[in-house]
Amino acid sequence: MHISVDHKTEVPALYITGEIEPDDLDKFDQTANGAQLVLVILNSPGGNLGAALAIGAKIHDRRYSTYVDSDQVCASACGLIWVAGAKRLLAPTAKIGFHAAYDTRTGIEKGQGNAVVGAYLNGLGFGLEAILYATQAGPQDMTWLSQDDADRLGITYQLVDAPTEVEPQPFVRRPTRPRPQEAAPIITSGQDNPEHVARTQVESQLRAWNSDSKVNLDWIGAEYAPRTDYFGKMVSQQDIIADIRKNAARWPVRRYAVSNNEIGVSCLPAGQSSIHVKPMPNFRMCTVTATVEWHVDNQMGRRIGGHTVAQYEIGVKMLDATHADMNSHENRIWFQTEQVTERHAE
């Protein structure tokens, strides 16, 4: 990828062109650091996912705007950079494209990479529908962003012939984010970091849902906050426990598991609010996005199964700036939603 800065244009801009390579984050830092930038201009077919997400996170944190010029294309990993802009700009004939993450050696889709993309997009403020939209096309296909889709998904942008009136956005200095690695969950080492705690809580809950689990179903309900945004409604913990009991009675045979390790985690700085939860001192809000494989049987001749993309927001109690309280009863689920991507009779 070629990266350059042009101060002679009306708007101080950094240009990113060509295929994104694994070491391009370093190139981006070397070029952007110290430059008085307000705009990143993109023209790329995509490339390395980890580098693209890391560059996008830098653009988001530094409040740069993003732009794709006339007749230019920003697709695949490049599209994920473009959505990170403080202001997203497009020329009328520009194109933005998205597709699923995949293994560049085999060409096969990587669910784990999609989970990382989901955590990244959630960190930018996008919901589950936008995440599914960005990863729905196969590796050899492309979903081209339309105005109708952008309006529906909240991917707001402005159509401009040329970026001549882009004003600098306030610089917001935030704690450094973990650097995404290609097709790997955003999880640091050690078992007492908040990412590990949030992931473990979701995996433990799914195991508890299985009908051969010896865990009391009320324990699952106790993992939720006193009031939780639960599938689009604010409900009490007791209401959630009642719903869990109802579903368990309807489907006495149940099997739930994360599919092929397809799970991603992203945590906000301590005390920072998420889309759905107000800020809580000494807590970090962590978003967990997972593909769940499930099979249920009502023991009356009906068996169904499928895959669901589930998303949780978990408040993790912190002991200090970097270490989470792994055993705190205050580590609770504050938000949960899901979308069934596959359903079939068995």
- Name the pLDDT band for 284 (thresholds 50, 70, 90): very high
- The lowest-confidence range among 123-127, 216-220, 272-276 is 272-276
Q: Is 258 found in the same domain as 122?
A: no
What pLDDT was estimated at residue 10? Answer: 64
> Which of 183, 89, 97 lies closest to 140 in space, CA to CA?
97
The enclosing domain of 300 has a CATH number of: 3.10.450.50
Straight-line distance from the first to the last Cα atom of the chain, in angstroms, rounded to the nearest whole number: 48
The continuous run of DSSP H or E covering 96 comes out as strand 95-98
Q: Is 154 found in the same domain as 20?
A: yes
> Which of 270, 345, 258, 272 lies closest to 309 in space, CA to CA?
258
Residue 164 corresponds to which tokens in the numbers above? 């001549």
Rounded to 10 degrees, what is the CA torsion of 224, 256, 185, 139? -130
Q: Which of 143, 159, 175 is the last residue of a domain?
A: 159
Residue 175 located in a structural domain? no
Sequence-distant (≥ 6) Cβ neighbours of residue 123 within 8 angstroms: 57, 60, 177, 266, 268, 287
Q: Is 336 found in the same domain as 258?
A: yes
Residue 298 located in a structural domain? yes
Q: Is 139 found in the same domain as 224?
A: no
Q: Is 7 found in the same domain as 81?
A: yes
Percent with pLDDT over 70 in the chain: 90
Q: Check residues 260 and 309 and name the one with the higher pLDDT.
A: 309
Residue 18 located in a structural domain? yes
What is the total count of domains within the chain?
Answer: 2
What pLDDT was estimated at residue 176? Answer: 34
Q: Which of 107, 140, 159 is the last residue of a domain?
A: 159
Residue 111 located in a structural domain? yes
Q: Is 139 found in the same domain as 206?
A: no
The Cα-based distances of 263 to 198, 251, 338, 346 in angstroms read: 11, 25, 14, 25
The pLDDT mean for the chain works out to 84
Residue 168 located in a structural domain? no
Residue 262 located in a structural domain? yes
Q: Is 118 found in the same domain as 56?
A: yes
- Any idea what DSSP says for residue 170? P
What pLDDT was estimated at residue 5? Answer: 76
What pLDDT was estimated at residue 187? Answer: 35
DSSP string, 14-59: EEEES-B-TTHHHHHHHHHTT----EEEEEB--B-HHHHHHHHHHH
Residue 62 corresponds to which tokens in the numbers above? 């530094």
Alpha helices by DSSP H, listed for the chain, are 24-32, 49-62, 77-82, 111-123, 128-135, 147-153, 194-209, 217-222, 237-250
> Which of 49, 134, 53, 68 lies closest to 97 in space, CA to CA?
134
Helix crossing, 111-123 with 128-135: angle to 10°?
A: 140
Residue 310 located in a structural domain? yes
> Which of 173, 143, 185, 175 lies closest to 50 in space, CA to CA?
185
Residue 317 corresponds to which tokens in the numbers above? 């109690």
Average pLDDT score over residue span 108-133: 84
Residue 184 located in a structural domain? no
Q: Is 226 found in the same domain as 133?
A: no
Q: Which of 135, 159, 183 is the last residue of a domain?
A: 159
Could you tell me the residue range of the domain that residue 230 belongs to? 194-345
What pLDDT was estimated at residue 170? Answer: 46
> Which of 338, 335, 339 lies closest to 285 in space, CA to CA?
335
Q: Is 204 found in the same domain as 155?
A: no
- Name the pLDDT band for 267 (thresholds 50, 70, 90): confident
Q: Is 337 found in the same domain as 217?
A: yes
Q: Is 208 found in the same domain as 147?
A: no
The enclosing domain of 52 has a CATH number of: 3.90.226.10
- Name the pLDDT band for 182 (thresholds 50, 70, 90): very low
Q: Is 198 found in the same domain as 113?
A: no
